[in-house]
Structure 1
């Protein structure tokens, strides 16, 4: 077998060999056993260097030094023995490193391949039942009757439920069958994705054909993953949601109401502002992309940028923001991880102003009274 010495040299360097050490070791392997002077000649190094490096080679188990003979000879240990020792050391190191490694303290990340259509339907229903804050659903319209009880219950629990029903070229569904199934329900006659995301952590996705009974051999993936879910929701809201027809809007929550999910606050505020109400907000915020402590600010909502309900007012599909007047300045506030707005919000409390003639100090006093 032809040996590619440059490749061997590079691989030895990944294990801590210097260029000269690699050349010396390769030369010794080629000779099997040699005197220091012979090894120096074949490796292109000095005899002094050979003697200097022998101790390191011996410590690594690479060579045996016969210094009881004159002249001293060096013999290469069988590479199979060397590799076996190295593998044992690496296995031991792996165990020790794994015991130290804690990649995501407290984070639960799981993935499951689902091969059964009936299991997929049951899993989607289970995910929606467990939702506490937000549900994003994009499924074939034909699947929605099976999910109707869970979706309606989620809306009743004040879960922000965004439902995209996909026609996939089938006969158009009756709008009456879609009403009440979400905070916002949209219909797209073409084929959208098969996707469910719940509370920015849990979800499921698959090719739509998998649940449509068309003989597909595809599979579904169920997951718990705090980084994957937001990315899928961003794709859902950015690429598919804007294309669909708005079929149903649920009544917003009665105010005052507090929201731990920013999009839910955006939805409620948009619905009230479109009806001509004046809203005030108490927001826990901090400068975006910072580790500063959150502070509470209070003011009147003067504008909302959003893409949840039509007509949309955002320029970027996933952009949702409040413009707040606190009496001294206008604050542009986005949700967690805001990249467009200078501030990000953690929690929002909304209330309706009964008299638009109230000053900001009067509104603050009213808010304090409501919170006592």
Structure 2
């Protein structure tokens, strides 16, 4: 007796789902004929080669080779003779094995290809152009951190990777965050996380600061970017860049410490949030950085 899988919906919807599934199977290495034959068999089994040919619209001259190939892939198996009838293997078991095999192949290839690549990787800067890819790289870097994470960002951006930062701190990584804005409520106290207010006050000083971030991991990897507007990030292991950014972070820490002890004198000399210094020294770089809204937040005004 054939076992049918019934689709509850219109014929058009069924065909769309079927075609989408064919596309996915082809991405796993199935041919078009193999994809159609496999789906036809999943929808009604056990089935003979003739029945599969008819349902899948696979030429009779090809269907035996197609079914043999699916059998070699261990996607299906014969269950009777004279005539031979086929059934699909349990999908969870089959695709689970495909995933395991694919992962092992990719891991082996990754190791083999990396051994053949130049080891002088620190001369390159890698670019990322989507929020998903940037988040994946951030998660990878944070998960791989062994001793230190230095992060300069906004409260908005911190929420983007807060769970991963927290997990890193819980396993002993020392985390320093130079933060613009108020720390997220979800951030729990942790002796391995040190929050340093940006420039001592933590008050955002430009309208474009919300999605910007800079992160150094173990003083060997660096990523800089933004996750709002024109999403972009750059990653590098370059030692010269690393030195520049480590020094920059340290100066941020020095400034926060000094501001904490001499805030009133500094504001009297340089204005709230160093506004007079910004007006004096901030360059006009709008034409070079069109994504950046470097218009200053008014001192004492709403945080943005």
| TM-score using structure 2 length | 0.41
Higher strand fraction: Structure 1 or Structure 2? 1
| TM-score using structure 1 length | 0.34
Q: Which has the higher contact order (CA 8 A, sep 6+)?
A: 2
